[in-house]
Structure 1
Amino acid sequence: MDRDASFQAFVDAHQRPLMRLAYLLTGEAHLAEDLLQSVLVRMIGRWAKLRHIDNLAAYARRTMVNQHISWRRRRGSGEVPSAEPPDRAYSPEDSAVLRIVLRQALMRLTPKQRAVIVLRFYEDRTERDVADLLGCSIGTVKSQAHHALARLRALAPELAPRLPVLDDDPAHVEGARR
């Protein structure tokens, strides 16, 4: 299989999950497309060396997370502070509204926290997998997940009942003792 055909086969097989990850990391369809495109451009340039890697999808995910974090460092958060929080004229049970609230809350996490939450809970990866993908220790993954979940609970209390509870979460352990 020639270079172009093998790369096209990789893209055909992995484009949807990579695009979904890009969207979850960026929170915007256009930025997600840009992120995925930049990762694929980087990969095709090195395809002769990369195609021999056992898990190219994992390599692409890690490259995407690193690229996203790098972009965020350069561009800043883009958050616009406001004096008053927005009025919440919706039912907390509305799943479409909860998805929007979750997306907005995710966008207020640090890029690394967001990557840990997306990889750990959305893609249902183990702490070891997330640590390997991000190039950090399992302790860092646990710490980032703990802080990110606490921040999500503070930013969007209506999501709290739906967020995962970590086994080592002091609030969870303390609540179990009562």
Structure 2
Amino acid sequence: MDPQDQEGFRDYVDARWSTLLRLANLLTGGDRHEAEDLVQIALMKALGRWRHIEDPDGYVRKVMYRHQVSRWRLRRPHREVTFAAPPEDHGVADGTSDADLRITVGQALARLTPRQRTMLVLRYFEDLSETEVASVLGCSVGTVRSTTHRSLSRLRGLAPELAAPAPAADTALNSNVPKGART
């Protein structure tokens, strides 16, 4: 590898490390060490082909997806770890609701199987279409649809607090309208 390619690769790693690590963290269910390993494996594979890669982000992400898929295909089924229920929210508006939401989503994602987590990350975090996810993972679009559907159902079951609250305004409005006048 010539010095120009080395410099280009170093610049890419410096600029994209945190973004790639964040993606890997989601793919591995929040295990920081596994996430770092996943990024490093992907970058090592990219380093060997750096001169021939046109889209470094696409290449590295695809390597990460495929490596993660290989890992969950090889793993034996394991028992799901259960966690204590989080404390109830007392409605304090102290600016931590976004952080609480990220923590809740992260904990719920970590409790999904690696396959379910990967499907949801690719569909909703990476914003890939069903066809693109099927292409990346080497499966059919129907498999993506059914796995995504089951994964979302399980996610909702694991974290019911993520469900959107019923609109209170509509309920209040309908209670003031005579029963025969409601549409």
Task: Indicate the residue corresponding to 1:170 in structure 2.
Answer: none
CA–CA distance in structure 2, aligned partners of residues 95 and 55 of structure 1: 33
Residues 90, 97 of structure 1: 8 Å contact kept: no
Tell me how far apart the structure 2 counterparts of residues 149 and 67 of structure 1 sit (CA, whole Å): 23
RMSD: 2.7
How far apart, CA to CA, are the structure 2 residues paired with 1:64 and 1:92? 40
Worse overlay, 28-37 or 86-95: 86-95
Gaps of 5+ in 2: 92-96, 166-183
> CA deviation digits over 1:92-128, x for unaligned, max 9?
8644333222212111222222112112111222222
Pair 1:96-2:99 in alignment = yes
Shift in Å at residue 71 of structure 1?
3.5
Using the alignment, how far apart are the partners of 2:129 and 2:68 within structure 1? 21
Identity of aligned residues (%): 43
Note the C-alpha offset of 1:35: 1.6
Q: TM-score, normalised by structure 2?
A: 0.70
Structure 1 or 2, whichever has the larger Rg, is 2
Counterpart residue number, 1:4: 6
Q: Deviations over 1:50-81 (max 9, x none)?
A: 53233231221121122223344556677564
Matches of 1:80 and 1:145 in 2, distance apart?
19
Alpha-carbon distance in 1 for matches of 2:113, 2:84? 22
Alpha carbons of structure 1 residues 130 and 88: separation in structure 2 relative to 1, 3 Å: same
1:56 and 2:56 correspond? yes
TM-score under structure 1 normalisation? 0.72
SS in 1 for 2:34: helix
Output the amino acid matched with 1:55.
Answer: D
Q: For residue 115 of structure 1, what is the aligned residue in structure 2?
A: 118
Do 2:133 and 2:144's aligned partners in 1 also have CA atoms closer than 8 Å? yes
Deviates more, 1:126-135 or 1:20-29: 126-135
**Gapped regions of structure 1 (runs ≥ 5):** 163-178
Q: Provide the rounded CA distance (Å) in 1 between the counterparts of 2:150 and 2:90.
A: 24
Name the CA distance, whole Å, in 2 between partners of 1:77 and 1:161.
Answer: 32
Aligned residues: 157
